[in-house]
Amino acid sequence: MALTYSSMLELGTDLIPFELPNTINESVFSDKDLDPTRPTLIMFICNHCPYVKAVTKDIVNDCGELKKLGINSVAICSNDSIKYPEDSFENMIKFSIDNKFNFPYLIDETQEIAKSYEAVCTPDFFGYNKNLELQYRGRMRELKNLIPISEGESDLFKAMKQISETGQGPKDQIPSAGCGIKWKYD
């Protein structure tokens, strides 16, 4: 498991449209299903990554609190599920149920959405203001040996709350870090 840091897509980048299968009800979910008057958090995660597993509880808790602030949250898995069957759609459904996901969990089988977002690791977070302009592309919180360093509000929660209140993300942002996305190679 090689540690990979997020690519830090340029702030101000517009939200990239998507339309992907959703594990919650096995329907199709798109960016058009989000409330366009609210900030939005897009997360690239997967089922098997130890970095994702270390913050899954935080992700679910934060997304629940962000929802109370009127912030949309969506997670996307872009890993190659042939080489990594733990990240198959069926296992995504189980993972989302077991962890009580309170947000759509989508599969990006072609990996085109991850490439469009320049997502490179799991977890990788992209926070948008109500104008759907990227304002945060940092980490959830600091980890040491896959254990959160501090309790309380995460870097991600504080950033999304700030975006909700001001339309702007924090000046200082620390890249997310985790396992590299498992790309399909021809």
Q: What is the pTM of this model?
A: 0.95
Residue 183 has what pLDDT? 97
Model pLDDT for residues 99-158, shown as the tens digit of each residue: 999 999 999 999 999 999 999 999 999 999 999 999 999 999 999 888 888 778 999 999
Yes or no: say if 148 and 52 are a contact pair by the CB < 8 Å rule: no
Instruction: Please give the average per-residue pLDDT across 15-39, as a whole number.
Output: 93
Helical (H) or strand (E) element with 179: strand 177-180
Length of the chain: 186
Q: What are the tokens at 54?
A: 């270390």
Q: How far apart are CA 129 and CA 137, in angstroms?
A: 12
Residue 48 binned pLDDT confidence (cut-offs 50, 70, 90): very high
Instruction: Please give the average per-residue pLDDT across 43-66, as a whole number.
Output: 97
Yes or no: say if 21 and 91 are a contact pair by the CB < 8 Å rule: no
Yes or no: say if 29 and 106 are a contact pair by the CB < 8 Å rule: yes
What is the percentage of the chain residues whose pLDDT exceeds 90? Answer: 86
Yes or no: say if 44 and 76 are a contact pair by the CB < 8 Å rule: yes
Q: How far apart are CA 51 and CA 143, in angstroms?
A: 9
Residue 186 binned pLDDT confidence (cut-offs 50, 70, 90): very low
